Amino acid sequence: MATEIQEIDLKTDEMIINMGPQHPATHGVLRLLLTLDGETVKHTEPVLGHLHRGQEWQGQNRTWFQYQALIDRVDYLSGMFTSWAMARACEEIDGTVVPPRAEYLRVMLSEMNRITSHLLWLGTYLIDLGAMFGFPFYPFREREKLFDLFEEIAGQRMMFNYIRIGGVVRDPKPEWLDKLKRFLDEFPDRIDEYETIVTQNPIFLKRTKDVGILTQAVAKDYGVTGPCIRSSGIPLDLRRTKPYSVYPELKFDVITFDKEGDTWDRYMARILEMRQSIEIIRQCIDKLPSGDIMGKKQMAGMRIKAGEGFSAVESPRGILGCYVISGGGEKALRFRWRNPSFCNLAILPELLKGCPLSDIMAIFGSIDVILPDVDR
Amino acid sequence: MTDEKPSEAEKPEDKKPEAAKPAEAAKPEAAKPADAAKPDAAKPADAAKPDAAKPAAPAAAAAPKPAAKAPEPVIPATAGKFEQFLKEHGIPCERLPLSLTIETIALSGDVLQAALRLLRNSSEVKLDLLLTVSGVESNDTFDSVYHLWSYSNLDELVIKVLVKKSDVPEGDLPAVPSIANFWAAANWHERETYDLMGIRYANHPYMRRILNPWDWEGYPLRRDYKQLVDSLNDKNPHSMR
């Protein structure tokens, strides 16, 4: 007698899970409200604002001089770029001419900052993926060396306040340049070292290959910028497509891949960018002209002419925009930041749709979001 | 003029209408000296641009850069390009003399959708990258400001939708149509503008506060904003801080 097989429709309910804000892999305090069907993510809602400090409000209630020192905190991993965006917007309104030496120093220090930012990303991303064997400290070793150089020239390791409206604040000594050259000579070997461990690591490949594919249509729709969009095959790099400062005089190519990028491609884009930054800094050292480094008198009661200015720089995370409205006084009438993290984070629900729970951190980490930059 | 103006503009939170007016009136004048200074001041930057276009990505190379060649006209030759384009298609708009380098046009909220559909999708103009949506409070208007760029060329445009404060009903928020149907990117930017500046975007899919808690009262970037609870010296017995 054949046994009767009864089909039972086992229905599972959708479950809402709260991830964060204290989750160690959320790079700050991001809260994700996940709707799960079993292990599959159906819907994600990021809840922002845990680090909202009213940076835009402070811009309107502090003098230009005071606010300059504050904006390094908007994105604490790439303070040079926030300073630079603000300085360029104000210079555009004011008509300030920045001396060429200052421009070269800006490019040089910013590219160094790009390397430190990517190094931190590399270390923490590997932790996000569960690589707890000590690898994360390899990138930090080189990052420390760069921070020592920053400390020497700017007086601060992370909150530089080095790029000011009109120029830069301190001139490097020849010994400093020698130290930087020595670092640049050894750094490519260190990148090789990371790549030996990570790039073709089978576990890493399994976690990242074909995970979180960012299509060009979605990327354009959400205004994604930076390594994320370049690894998806859109060559949007402001340093080349809309060049500013002295980037036109430097030789380098936009790093893009000819397919729609997955998580591994975003990793590779950043590794290649670090190598590219080394070349850019080398060129800057060779071309560094002599002369003045400041085109505007720095004083507490500094004023900017009335007008509007918008500037954008290519930060490690994407296009960082600064929109300034000045009434001609000591303070701005309106400060508005276009933060790459804020815009890039918006694609997270799109990328997470349908992926398993375990991929969330692999995808979230790969878009390189800094929460103070999101919440301001 | 330069002596008195800063003191006025220093305190935008002062609700004195007289205090704010001189700064407003000074704007076109202040822009003129900047105009005059532009050709000599901006030369290095402008001169760098044509070189810049060459090594740029092939898509970007096609864009014209006439500004550097003729130092004579203050407004670049591409000036008013988008204004003309929109007027040809029957959309009323007006160029604002706010910035020298970027074209800024003012639109009314009714034609915003039609204008953006043209600017984004037409074959001549392809402004398909929405950088940011910002809210600005000026003396008598609330402005919703859109920064548009292009993926394929160097064009950029600033669109301002001005809502007069006198047109906003008492106890209501200024309303501007949402553009989240064109760019998903606009979704969060508009939520942020609503949260901080109190501009309501009509037909927005999810018009909630994004940075502040949902039960927050007031719009922190407005000039008349008063924080109800002093977070440093908290006397509110119901507060959890």
Rounded CA separation A336/B208 (Å): 20
Q: Which residue of B has its CA nearest to A312?
A: B131
Q: Which helix (H) or strand (E) holds A121?
A: helix A100-128
Interface size between A and B, measured as CB pairs under 8 A: 159
CA distances A148 to A4, A106, A108, A252, Å, are 75, 17, 15, 27
**Among chain A residues, CA nearest to B130:** A223
A333 closest CB neighbour out of B12, B42, B220: B12
Q: Which residues of B touch A325 (CB under 8 A)?
A: 136
Residue A2 has what pLDDT? 64
Residues of B in contact with A44 (CB under 8 A): none
Across the range A103-126, mean pLDDT stands at 90
Residue of A nearest to B30 (CA): A306
Confidence of residue B45 (pLDDT cuts 50, 70, 90): very low
Place of tokens 């008198």: A297
Residue A372: the pLDDT is 86
> What is the DSSP-derived secondary structure letter of residue A223?
T
CA distance B98 to A88: 17
Q: What confidence tens digit (pLDDT) does each residue in A192-233 have?
A: 988 888 888 888 888 888 888 888 888 888 889 989 888 888
Other beta carbons less than 10 A from residue A254's beta carbon: 17
Distance from the B136 Cα atom to the nearest Cα atom in chain A, whole angstroms: 7
Task: Say what the pLDDT of residue A278 is.
Answer: 92
Residue pair B199/B161 in contact by the 8 Å Cβ criterion: no
Chain-chain contact of B9 with A305 (C-beta, under 8 angstroms): no
B129/A223 Cβ within 8 A:
yes
What percent of chain A has pLDDT above 70? 98
Tell me the C-alpha distance between B16 and B223, whole Å: 11
Mean pLDDT of chain B: 68
Q: Do A307 and B38 touch (CB under 8 A)?
A: no
Confidence tier at A1 by pLDDT (50, 70, 90)? low
The region of weakest confidence among A98-102, A138-142, B22-26, B158-162 is B22-26
Please tell me the predicted confidence (pLDDT) of residue A256. 84
Residue A239 confidence (pLDDT) above 50: yes
Spell out which residues of chain A touch residue B128, defining contact as CB-CB under 8 Å: 220
Mean pLDDT, chain A, as a whole number?
Answer: 86
- Helix or strand run (H / E) with residue A103: helix A100-128
Tens-digit pLDDT profile for residues B121-141 = 887 788 888 888 998 888 888
Q: Which pLDDT score is estimated for A115?
A: 92
- Per-residue confidence band for B236, with pLDDT thresholds at 50, 70 and 90: low
The tokens for A306 are 């009335």
State the pLDDT at residue A185.
Answer: 92
Query: What would the DSSP string read from start to end of chain B?
Result: -TTHHHHHHH-TTS--HHHHHHHHHHHHHHHHHHHHHHHHHTHHHHHHHHHHHTTS-GGGGGS--GGGT--S-SS-TTTTHHHHHHHHTT---EE-TT-SSSEEEEE-GGGHHHHHHHHHH-SS----EEEEEEEEE-SSEEEEEEEEE-SSSS-EEEEEEEEEGGGSPTT---EEE--TTT-THHHHHHHHHHHHH--EEET-TT---SSS-TT--S-TTSTT---SS-SSS---TT---
Distance CA A89, CA A337 (A): 11
A16 Cβ contact partners less than 8 Å away, ≥ 6 residues apart: A33, A34, A35, A36
Write out pLDDT tens, residues B192-227: 999 888 898 988 888 888 888 887 778 888 888 877
**A45 interfacial to chain B (CB closer than 8 Å):** no
Q: Which residue of A has its CA nearest to B212?
A: A49
10 Å CB burial of residue B65 (0-12, 13-18, 19+) is middle
pLDDT at B182: 87
A residues 201-260 closer than 8 Å to B (CB): 220-223, 234-237, 240-243, 246-249, 251, 254
Mean pLDDT of the A114-137 span: 84
pLDDT band per the 50, 70, 90 thresholds, residue B233:
low
**Site from A308, A325, A369 to mutate, B interface, most B CB atoms within 10 angstroms:** A308
Planar angle of CA A230, A232, A235, nearest 5 degrees = 35
Query: Cβ distance B34 to B13 under 8 Å?
Result: no
Instruction: Check if the beta carbon of residue A165 is closer than 8 Å to that of residue A296.
Output: yes
Average pLDDT over residues A79-102: 88
Instruction: State whether B42 and A95 contact (CB < 8 Å).
Output: yes
A85 touches chain B (CB under 8 A): no
**Considering CB atoms only, which of B6, B51, B185 is closest to A328?**
B6
Residue A241: name the closest of B59, B92, B173 by CA: B59
pLDDT digits (tens, 9 = 90+) for B16-38: 444 434 444 444 444 444 444 44
Q: For residue A361, what pLDDT band results from cuts at 50, 70 and 90? A: confident
User: What is the residue whose two structure tokens read 């005059």?
Assistant: B36
Per-residue pLDDT tens digits for A27-80: 778 888 888 888 888 888 888 888 888 888 888 888 888 888 888 888 888 889
**A136 three-state secondary structure:** coil
Q: What share of chain A is helix, strand, coil (3-state, %, to 5)?
A: 50, 15, 35
